[in-house]
Amino acid sequence: MLINVLIVEDEKIISLDLEQKLKLMGYTVNTACSGEIALKKVKNNKIDLVIMDIYLNGELDGVDTAIEIRKNYTIPIIYITASHDLRTHKNIQQTEPYAYLKKPFDDNQLEETIKNINSY
């Protein structure tokens, strides 16, 4: 069962909201506001799931960060993004994400997606 979730989101309000929701669902939550910080947290903590925005502040966007994570770990990644264009969708496919949720997403949709990972 997935327990430790890393949220990678540079918009603080979204990150806090998501953190609260995940904690209410019973998960331990770490947060990172950039791809660079996310990579350090994955390296230094046991992370079971990454929930990541595609567009991040810093040198690494979500896709670049996911590529780096995939090089060394088999952690499922769920992307969350407000971007719905075909180019973005094609870019994220190269990282083999577990899921792709469009903002704004429903809490039940998030919870079901995570439950599906647990049963995978």
Domain count, the chain: 1
Does 47 score more than 90 pLDDT? yes
The CA angle 61-65-71, to the nearest 5 degrees, is: 155
**Sheet with strand 4-8: strands edge to edge:** 28-32, 4-8, 49-53, 77-81, 99-102
Residue 2: pLDDT band by 50, 70, 90 thresholds? Answer: low
Residue 35 has pLDDT above 90, yes or no: yes
Span 80-104, average pLDDT:
77
Range of the domain at 94: 4-119
* Percent of the chain clearing pLDDT 70 (strictly above): 92
36: domain CATH number is 3.40.50.2300
